[in-house]
Amino acid sequence: MSALPAQALVLDFGGVVTRTLFETHALTEQALGLAPGTLQWRGPFDPDSDPLWRAMQADEISERDYWRSRTSEVGRLVGEDWQAIETFVQRARGAEPEKVVRPEADSAIRAVHAAGFRLAILSNELDLFYGADFRRRLPLLGLFDTIVDATYTGILKPDPRAYALVTEALGLPAGTCVFVDDQQRNVDGGRAAGMRTVHFDVARPALSYAEALGHFDLIPVA
């Protein structure tokens, strides 16, 4: 662990701040008029049933490749040709983004902000997936000091330059930043960049946020 005190919480977005699309299949099916149980792929919740996810974890395809495939697949199920990932996300999640924010994320972000620490998002696809107007419709994002999004930078985690962009934007040494991501490769990248890291477990979000808050000597709200 860094000898420097933690000063900033740096979060991945999808999966860390919001619930994954794997967790909201029922909401997706309802929104799209699909029969319950239509969507069977479960990613990290059941890797054995999701060969495409396993290929992504093995670095045979990228995370964007994975979601492009799922976007096309779901589009076909509703009789449409979907090319843009944001089409899937927006159609599945509608106009109420607060409903897909993890309550553990909301509590942790507010606790860090209230305690006077810095907040940042480091995402590979925030606006790509959610659409450029999403930030305006999610007031929680207004608490963040900076958002570094590879939708615009073109620099994807775990490229070392991605982590440098967020530390430069914060004006802080990497060792004072606690980086939280649900992809091991990105966590490894953050550690290599000198950050404190938390590998976020989407199946145990409360435990992961408790670990992150521990770096700031903060206790999660029950």
H or E stretch at 132: none
Mean per-residue pLDDT for 1-14?
89
pTM of the model: 0.89
Mean per-residue pLDDT for 53-65?
92
pLDDT digits (tens, 9 = 90+) for 138-196: 999 999 999 999 999 999 999 999 999 999 999 999 999 999 999 999 999 999 999 99
Domain boundaries, the chain: 8-19+101-214, 25-96
pLDDT digits (tens, 9 = 90+) for 61-104: 988 899 999 999 999 999 999 999 889 998 998 667 788 899 99
Side chain identity, residue 82: W
Q: Detail the DSSP E strand segments found in the chain.
A: 8-11, 118-123, 146-149, 177-181, 196-199
Query: What fold characterizes domain 8-19+101-214?
Result: Rossmann fold (3.40.50)
Residues 6+ apart with CB under 8 A from 172: 7, 8, 118
Q: Does position 110 have pLDDT exceeding 70, yes or no? A: yes
pLDDT of residue 149: 98
Is residue 148 within 8 A of residue 122, CB to CB? The reply is: yes
In percent, the amount of the chain with pLDDT more than 90 equals 80
Phi/psi-derived region of residue 198, left when phi > 0, alpha when psi is between -120 and 50, beta in every other case: beta
**How confident is residue 1, by pLDDT bands cut at 50, 70 and 90?**
very low
Side chain identity, residue 118: R
Compute the distance between CA of residue 17 and CA of residue 129 in angstroms, rounded to an integer: 14
